[in-house]
Structure 1
Amino acid sequence: MLSQQQQTEEIQYIPPKGEFEIFRDEEHYREKMKEWGLSATKEVKKEFWYKDKTIQRLVTIKGYETFGLKTEFNTLVIEFQDGNLSCIHPAYLKEMQQASFGKESIWGEEDKGSEKSEPILEVHKKEPEEAMVANPKKVKEPKPKKERPAKVELPEEKVHFTGKVKQFAMTYNPFNEENDEVVVLEDVVIVKESPLELKYAWCSHSKTLKKFELAAGDLLEFDGKVAAKKLAKGKDVPEEFVIDVAVAYKINNPSKIVKL
Structure 2
Amino acid sequence: MAVILPHIEDSNATSYIPPSGEYEKFENDAHYEEKVREWGLSTTREVKKEFWYKERTHQRLVKIKGYQSFGEKAVHYTLVIEFQDGNLSCIHSAYLKEMQSSNFGKEIKPLAEVSSEENTPKSEEPSKKAEPTAGTVKSKPVKEKKEKPAKIALPEDKVRFTGKVKQFAMSWNHFNEENDEVVILENVRIETDEPIEVGLAWCSHSKTLKKFELTPGDDLDFNGKIVKKSLPKGKDVEDESLLLDVSVPYKINNPSKLSKL
Q: TM-score range by the shorter chain?
A: 0.7 to 0.9
Letter in 2 for 1:199: G
* 1:19 Cα offset (Å): 2.9
> How big is the shift at 1:68?
4.5
Query: 2:151 — aligned with what?
Result: 151
Cα distance, 1:209 vs structure 2: 0.9
Is the CA contact (8 Å cut-off) linking 1:7 and 1:54 kept in structure 2? no
TM-score normalised by length of structure 1 = 0.83
Cα distance, 1:91 vs structure 2: 0.5
Shift of residue 151, structure 1, vs aligned partner: 1.6
Letter matched to residue 253 of structure 1 = N
Structure 1, unaligned runs of 5 or more: 110-127, 129-135
Contiguous gaps of at least 5 residues in structure 2: 114-132
Q: CA-to-partner distance for each residue in 1:26-76, whole Å, 9 max, x for gaps?
A: 221111111000000102111111112212111111122234453343211
Q: Within the alignment, does 1:85 sit opposite 2:79 as a pair?
A: no
Distance 1:162 1:43 in 2: 34
- RMSD across aligned positions (CA): 2.5
Give deviations 1:114-169, integer Å, cap 9, x for gaps.
xxxxxxxxxxxxxx9xxxxxxx9975522211122222111111111110111101
Percent identity of paired positions between Structure 1 and Structure 2: 63
Matched, 1:75 2:111: no
Partner of 2:124: none
Instruction: Give aligned pairs, total.
Output: 236
Q: Does 1:17 align with 2:3?
A: no
For residue 28 of structure 1, the aligned residue among 21, 28, 31 is 31
Distance 1:167 1:138 in 2: 51
SS at match of 2:104: coil
Q: Report which of the two structures shows the higher radius of gyration computed on alpha carbons.
A: 1
Q: Is the 8 A contact 1:64 1:77 kept in 2?
A: yes
Return the letter of the residue paired with 1:196.
I
Tell me whether 1:40 sits opposite 2:33 in the alignment.
no
Match of 1:65 in 2: 68
SS for the counterpart of 2:17 is: coil
Please report how far the alpha carbon of residue 24 of structure 1 lies from its aligned counterpart in structure 2 after TM superposition. Answer: 2.0
Moved more, 226-235 or 16-25: 16-25
The amino acid of 2:258's aligned partner reads: I
Q: 1:137 to 1:232 in 2, by over 3 A?
A: farther
2:197 maps to a residue whose letter is: E
